[in-house]
Structure 1
Amino acid sequence: MTKASHSKPKKIRCAIYTRKSHEEGLDQEFNSLDSQRDAAENYIASQSAEGWVALPTRYDDGGFSGGNLERPAMKRLLADIEAGEVDCVVVYKVDRLSRSLLDFARIMGTLDEQNVSFVSVTQHFNTTHSMGRLTLNILLSFAQFEREIIGERIRDKIAGQRRRGKWAGGVPVLGYDVDRSERSPKLVINDDEAVRVRRIFAMYLEMGSILPVVQECERRGWLNKAWVTRGGKSKGGRPFDKSAIHAMLTNPLYAGRIRHKDQTFKGEHAAIVDKVVFEETQRLLKSNSRGRGNAVSNKHDALLRGLLFCPKCRLAMVHNIARRKTKLYRYYTCQTAIKRGYKKCPFPSLPAGEMENAVVEHIRRIGSDTELRREVLTQSQTQAAGELEDLGGQDRLLTKQLSQYHAELEQLSAKSDASSKATDRLALLHEQIASAERSLATVRADAEALQDREFKEHDINAAFGDFDNVWKALTVNEKSQVLKLLIERIEFDVDDSSIAITLHPSGIKSLSAAHEPEKQEATA
């Protein structure tokens, strides 16, 4: 006769996780974390017949939000789970583990991989049963829905404020300060900064290009808006670049309007720039954009306008004329010398005709010299590789910034805080995300265009092979457009009377492509 064997149930190691969003009250002898752990230990004790045992290790996150996984105890818990030291995770309520549906899904994925179950004490379910898993998904879906509703309300509030012309928060811009003395923050003109803003708009209309404006701001030591966050961190105060100047010139705030998506509304704040000046600036920006707008009239045959730069001031040289009785003389002169006199820039004016002929002759020599074409190819490919590397660095930086912005946005949304401070920060984050996404799209489009315009020796030969005959058949405006297509920058060295020409890789590729149909017709 044999005795019946009674095997003991398998031991289930239970890790108790506790969390509290704020540190308030944690210094008490029996705080919220202790209360959560006590309830979990009692529940585990009630399941002792099933082999449940509470692990002595404490996984307590005091003062950490549930909107993300950047919590020390959570990281330790996940590490122990992956190490196979935990069979079940027990919490007081589901939201103690996470308030983010995405993060919770990641945690549950880790638990499933390690065959670890999950139990909520007060909501009476666990994932060892199918009904518990269904209930869990329903609860999380409603929690996510609630957070999205809160986000929509905040976005609707911001949209409503902007339609009424109110400033709804964001990064302060040069020319305005934020007055927070009233319930709703307002923009007020900073008189000293407003003078610079008006001058930047005037410089762009005078120079006709953003780069010379950037260089002039750098020469004057002008910086963009410097401000201090509510947390006491200093922001801004950096030198202008092309992107910052373009953002300023296209910002309707300066014309007294508030932008919301694709619309603008009359703002409560005063305008810094006259409406006529702002509209003229937009027309010039549009005409200067690639592939848009009409060519500017070239009355005096200035072929090198916008291409020839002063090596002293690094500014584009201006085409001007002088009359002696019935004869017309054309020159390229440094902007600094024109506006501030030759004492500020001693670089001499250059005779326009001679400079233009020298540049055209240089292009013609490329077409007839095989070695020179190969040298141009090598230099252009090196330049393109450097630009692509820079764009890659910008892409990585913007991607990292977007990740940080989204993480903070998710954290703020999870708090369900509708205070003025939280609303301002959320509005700022939405603007920062939109701005970073626009910049990232531009960077990636530039990188894609740079890769598309990569050219080889065939393109050099096609672009310059029949240059002489093509050049003779062009009008003055067409010649100017061809030079702008081929050349990025020209500098003249007065010491040895040499010309340094930087070619545009994209222009060579375009000119090569334009010649392909002509060659196909000729061989047909």
Structure 2
Amino acid sequence: MIIREDAIYGRQSVDRKDSISIESQIEFCKYELRGGNFRKYTDKGYSGKNTDRPKFQEMMADIRRGLIKRVVVYKLDRISRSILDFATMMETFQEYNVEFVSSTEKFDTSTPMGRAMLNICIVFAQLERETIQKRVTDAYYSRCQHGFHMSGAAPYGFQLEPTTIEGIRTKMMKPDPETADIAKLMFEMYSQPGISFGDIRPLLCRRGHPDLRQGNDTGLYLPTFEKPHLRTG
């Protein structure tokens, strides 16, 4: 005979350093269980925007195997920030008679009003996630407009120079005196009909450019856009 157990699920995103730790989440949930036995599933460094989380998927598989009777989370948005994913999850819970409990939010899922409040909360959880995403995207766009270098190494033909923009220390790209002419030549070659990426390296090597002849693969950077754009730009 299979004995069904309680399950605790915890999740923490890597980009939310101010969020409560998984360890603290587990302690809150254990209090809800009043000392009973439980299975623990934790996903650290995963977003709640979808269900592509290994331990979440393992928990759902155990539910379908009839091993779990109740799932406890610290807060609703720890298990999902997607309306569609949450609805699908709750359908599975209902199908396998699994109770859902949030240790910091009290929902009575046995009543229509309780289920409605649960759905309203997940709507706001998804809204918060999408608002954060837009704020981050807007911040990147604004920094790019002001000339900030966002991340990564400079492409071949450029170098990064420390600078200060509006009181903020950052880096900007500027032409590299030693390689800028070669980079320009690479663009000119690629813009010609019949010239492919594979043709450029041997052509440059035959012209005696030392970086390429010595096998400096990092130098072979070209944007991946179509030739017509390159010719008309």
TM-score normalized with structure 1 length: 0.34
Distance 1:218 1:209 in 2: 17
What does residue 312 of structure 1 align with? none
Q: CA deviation at 1:32?
A: 1.6
What does residue 194 of structure 1 align with? 180
Q: CA deviation at 1:217?
A: 2.6
Answering whether residue 106 of structure 2 is matched by residue 128 of structure 1, we say no
Distance 1:158 1:40, change over 3 A: same
- Equivalent residue of 2:66, what SS? coil
What does residue 131 of structure 2 align with? 149
- The share of aligned pairs that are identical, in percent, is 29
- Equivalent residue of 1:156, what SS? helix
What does residue 40 of structure 1 align with? 32
Distance 1:201 1:87, change over 3 A: closer
Q: How does 1:72-111 map to 2 (within 5 A)?
A: 72-111=54-93
CA contact (8 A) 1:19 1:61 kept: yes
Answering whether residue 232 of structure 2 is matched by residue 282 of structure 1, we say yes
Distance 1:69 1:211 in 2: 44
Q: How does 1:117-266 map to 2 (within 5 A)?
A: 117-169=99-151, 172-179=154-161, 183-203=169-189, 208-211=192-195, 214-220=198-204, 222=212, 237=218, 244=224, 246=226, 250=230
Relative contact order: is structure 1 or structure 2 higher (C-alpha 8 Å, sep ≥ 6)? 2
CA contact (8 A) 1:117 1:126 kept: no
CA contact (8 A) 2:8 2:71 kept: yes
Distance 1:69 1:119, change over 3 A: same
Distance 2:177 2:84 in 1: 48
Distance 1:126 1:119, change over 3 A: farther
Distance 1:179 1:19, change over 3 A: farther
- Equivalent residue of 2:178, what SS? helix
CA contact (8 A) 2:158 2:180 kept: yes
Distance 1:171 1:102 in 2: 39
AA at the equivalent of 1:40? E
What does residue 208 of structure 2 align with? none
AA at the equivalent of 2:12? S
Q: How does 1:46-65 map to 2 (within 5 A)?
A: 54=36, 56-61=37-42, 63-65=44-46
Distance 1:180 1:83, change over 3 A: farther
Answering whether residue 3 of structure 2 is matched by residue 19 of structure 1, we say no
Richer in helix (by share): 1
Q: How does 1:478-489 map to 2 (within 5 A)?
A: none
CA contact (8 A) 1:39 1:92 kept: no
Distance 1:133 1:245, change over 3 A: closer
CA contact (8 A) 1:210 1:245 kept: no
What does residue 421 of structure 1 align with? none
AA at the equivalent of 1:32? S
CA contact (8 A) 1:14 1:89 kept: no
Q: CA deviation at 1:179?
A: 4.2
CA contact (8 A) 1:127 1:133 kept: yes
Distance 2:163 2:88 in 1: 44
Q: CA deviation at 1:198?
A: 1.7
Distance 1:212 1:73, change over 3 A: closer
TM-score normalized with structure 2 length: 0.68
Distance 1:214 1:16, change over 3 A: closer
Q: How does 1:288-327 map to 2 (within 5 A)?
A: none
Distance 1:129 1:210, change over 3 A: farther
1:289-311 superposed Cα distances (whole Å, 9 cap, x missing partner): xxxxxxxxxxxxxxxxxxxxxxx
RMSD of equivalent CA atoms: 3.9
CA contact (8 A) 1:19 1:64 kept: no
Structure 2 unaligned blocks of 5 or more? 18-22, 206-211
Aligned residues: 211
Distance 1:65 1:188, change over 3 A: same
Max radius of gyration: which structure?
Answer: 1
